[in-house]
Structure 1
Amino acid sequence: MVQEYVSDALVGNLVDNRYRVQSKLARGGMSTVYLATDQRLERDVALKVLHPHLADDPQFLDRLGREAKAAARLSHPHVVGVLDQGEDGPLAYLVMEYIKGHTLRDVLNEKGALSPRLALALIDPVVEGLGAAHAAGMIHRDIKPENVLIADDGRIKLGDFGLARAISTSTSTGALIGTVAYLSPELVLGKQADARSDIYSVGIMLYEMVTGRQPFDGEVPIQVAYQHVNSTVEAPSIQVPGLAAEIDELVQWCTDRDPDKRPVDGNALLSELRHIRTNLSDAELDLQPPAAVHRPLPAVAAPPSRPPAGTVPASAVQDTAYVRPPNDMPTEVYGGLQQPTEMISRGGNPTTVMTNGPRRPAYGPLSTPEDSSTPEDGAYQGAAGYGEPGDVGTATSKRAQRKLDRDEERARQRAAATPTKTLHEGNRRRRGLVWIVLLVVAALLAAVAGWFFGMGPGSPGTIPPVANKTVAEAQDLLRTAGFQSTVKDVFDDNVSPGLVVGSEPKAGEVIRKFQPVSLAVSKGPELFPLPDLTGKTLDDAKTALNGAEMALGPITETFDETAPAGTVLAQAPRSGNPVRHGTPVGLTVSKGPQPIPVPDVRGQEQGAAVKALEAAGLKAVVAPDPVNDRTVPKGAVLAQDPASGNLTKGGSVTLTISKGPKLVQVPSFIGKQASDAQKALEDLGFKVQIDNILGGFFGTVRAQDPVNTAVPEGSVITLTVV
């Protein structure tokens, strides 16, 4: 209750003089997550405040700082970014990118089993982000649906990098961190974790996504952990009939108990995942799984079903936490694993913590070494978490005693069924002959077996190399080596038709001579018809080539008067021709109609201008109304539209024709002052020339030329002034 009060008290307060806590988002076994606002950068962040039992550990805080720095260097669109890490008094915190939305767990709780299309689409970005982390040398260690965040805008991100590693490497007891439903066998056994441990957790998560349930179930978490180590994850198609075999293989590849048989890292898994998504049919991808049915799993050696009051089945365990067992806490050996006899339960989510430290004896304080014995048929020794340490020792001793009693009873039954004296002694000579016959038969059998396995059909032989040989040559080589062969035809891009591609088993392998050898004979490359790309846009043509698994060849662009720019005009090879996958296909693409520069015909006579435009491939359009112009002669082009630039073939150019200068009536200014006459004439648009007689002393117009007649605008009017 104290810890809850302190955590809630953060709401509304400022952490480290920078992060204003807005509200509480979630609480887990290691931390409480708040929505906060970064006052410095004015953005919302997720503030993860660690619980006091972690924040008080200096060794853990040092390790957490290093892990946070490593996680902060990982920048990937599908990984939640670590923005800051620090301490504020008793508080230790991490600042992460705030993703507004929900988790994959919410999706599974709402929908149950997902269609393969949706499951593969959701897990693809998770694996991509995980691959980037693995390439950077980071391991997550706690992959689960709760750590897959789905933003409201559809972004998918993987969160909590580095936290589980920081805790697991900072606890002196070697406590194991992780959600038991998704733990890899090597983590349960206390071995070194690597990228393949994350791959195992992804496989378990994918199984749950397509079936609606987890592969292993148990009343207490330790039962689930035991199954991770000793059981094989079944094919999900057992739960979802009709599920594609490729998905079965993908899940079982990821969840193989041997790490060496799993994908090496996230990038290797991503490549196979996307290959499967590409090759499954729509019917296989859109398979609607039935409602998840809780089917009992095969019986396994597990602890008795006596969970403490208030706990829930292990299938519901999702939280991650750790516990530091007291030094005097007894531990017990269970299925080859060392387990502590304490479990914790927080908020209805019990979490089992496996210790990897030094083993303690498999007997309690009330038993002796002589009382302890190996559990029969994998029987469970001890009941972790059920009572005090003394109870555990007593229970172990009683079970050992019951086993001894059962062994003694069986021995007595075998002794009672065995006669102590024969009723017929028989003839010793006859018995001797029988023994001789048996020895002879055994010798003959041994000789036959020796011949069969040494020189006969059962003897080992090495497959000879037969690649690139004719079928007859290959069969002769196999017969000489003592093998019988069968022939099957296969497509091959590199080996000529009729020649052997290879053998199964492969050349160089040693097998028994009675085992069959299959020869793969080339039929030549498999050919596929090319799709028709003409008339498509360039982007559509590229998509069609990708769908047909063909390569894009050289692209040639050319002008075309009818096809819009970007349209495929031709392809090479032509459509319908059978070619190999990956064949480059060249495309001829339209650049649209060829542009034509507009000639400048202004000032030219109308007929000459029209001919010049038509010769360029353009159409001349004459404006219906000619326009007066004092500078352009009548009948010549006064203006054109457009006057410059480019048009396509057949484009129109509008011509405006000049009517020449307009005629203006010249009034008489004889007898008037020259200055007044000059101003009036210039206002009418004329040019004025003054000829002075006797110096023009009086300034009076004596004569005017022209006068009282209409002349073109801009004409020169001569005034004679005295």
Structure 2
Amino acid sequence: MLERGFFINNRYEILSRVGAGGMSDVYKAKDHKLNRNVAIKVLKNEFSKDKNFVSKFRVEAQSAASLIHPNIVNVYDVGEDAGLYYIVMELIEGITLKSYIDKKGKLSVKETISIAIQIANGIECAHNNQIVHRDIKPQNIMISREGKVKVTDFGIARAASANTINGSAMGSVHYISPEQAGGQYVDEKSDIYSLGITMFEMLTGRVPFDGESTVTIALKHIKSNVPSVREYLPNVPVSIEKIILKCTQNRADRRYPKISLLISDLKRALSEPNVDFVQLEQRVDNGSTVMITDDEINQLRSGSNKKVKDDNGKPDDDIDYLPPKVGNAVTIGSVVAGIVALIIVAAIVTSFVFSMVNSNKIKLQNTVTGSDVETTIDPKKTEVPNVVGMSEDEAEKTLHEKELGVKYEAYEYNDHYQSGYIIKQSVAKGKVIDKNETILLTVSKGAEKIEVPSGIKGSDLDTAISKLEDKDLKWELVYEYSSSEINRVISCYPIEQALVSKGDTIKLTVSRGQKTVENSNVGTIPNVEGKKLDKAQQLISNAGYSVGDTKEVYDEEIEKGIVIRQTIKSGYAPKGTTISLVVSKGSKDADKKYKGTYTFAKEDLMDEEGNPIKSGTVVVLLNGSSQGIDPEYSDVSKWPGDYTMTLTSDTKGKATIELLIDGKVVKTDKVKLK
């Protein structure tokens, strides 16, 4: 245990011990460099001596440092000092969710859902960055004095599991998923299971499984289904009951496939707690989906599992459930009967649809004009929608509405689409294909992860900026008084070698030199940010400082010629110091024109009575602004046929085009400009 007043790395002063876990001790400390209080997690000796674990621990902790989210405890620094391995984190003034549950006994349904949504939001951020927590439990959830919920220990549990550390170090087995307890592959659905157990405990004040040893409890997770909260709270709303049941399904493929879907259901449960909208599913061998029966839901609610008898007709205590193949064999008669019934119903429906198609043409909406057009389409076929640019949830919903299946073919890095959004589909939009065909989707993993370059700390500012720009990283400056020479980088955040996305902003803390007010050669640097370049240069010169390089960059919000940043902020500094400026070049698209084409069909030109318009002055408006007309087409009487014109605009995307003849609108449509 570290004593009060002990310094780590000549920077962090230990103030008090605030907690302990299986792998580490947690201390409140003061960061003397940035003058703020922080939390420091120090690895226990038995783990510090394991070089393999320490290596994984540092990599995972640095990955966790790249997670920036209001529901995640921020990681500021990772390091080692004289054999002490530590993580510096945001200090949360509050208590753990575990302590909060112990204090209150049970939480209300509304409070449980609210806390669960915040936890899930934090987990979603990690999952979007391909980080699985692996140790979600109330002990790893902090609640601040303001009521903000934050998840901690991201990356640490992953390092532990990667190093096959035993169960005592991995935290409480009460929240472990079946696949993790069984040493199988662990993915995002494992975190969903653990969150479901946490919600169970919030509502009931107890965990669903307990026992005399960790092995006993782990086996219960592997072999048994979590009982319903209704066993302990008979009046709990059906929505939250089913949400927890779906999260804690013994088989991972029956849980929520993504935490975003869980968040959606939790939000709906806040406004519609008594609506039975959560779908519980089970899979049979052929891959089709059938709904769980009322009897099966009641079995889940009771938490009971029928015992299988041995060869002597006695209950076998070592068998707690029917294997999937046995279960499928037992129910095959009912499945076949159901299929026969479905075939009969399908035949009747198909006959009805065909008769409707023959007697009435199906109406489809033209996606360009918005008007209804009549067409005939085989009822066994459907038109493929465009799902590129949609989230996974939106894409699935859109394709399912068209009676099409979905399969995720690949996940790829993409600079244009954020993580979780569709970047490619296997069948082009508008193509008519058979219903129930599967569309293969490629999903964005977001911008490719890159390392913050080494050698930033301690380098001069120009060198640091050059290294960041070589990696396509942005930078932001904060100046502080320091014993280091002016424009020397004191620190950076995220730290060196942390994983970030291309285009992320790295915060550089830079020295402005020592604060020597008594020195007669010291003056005050003026604040010139937001001023025009010539005025800024004049103010700097008049104050006794030199104007250095002027760098121009595009900026979507700041107009051209305005100073965005100065290399040394306003404050005391030796006179004669060189101050460089960053100036806006304005918007990159300020002078860009977007173009498109549109064809007016001559046969569409009709007056209010439906008669062809044969003469009249032509005007074309795009979003209300007039477009130039070819002299040959300035009067309808001159039109030899259809008229295709080129359109230009300052704005990108969809626009409204109008054709006016003698001041009356004859044609209105939508066009896309690129």
Q: Given the two structures, how large is their TM-score scaled by the length of structure 2? A: 0.43
Please identify which structure carries the higher strand content.
Answer: 2
Q: Given the two structures, how large is their TM-score scaled by the length of structure 1? A: 0.41
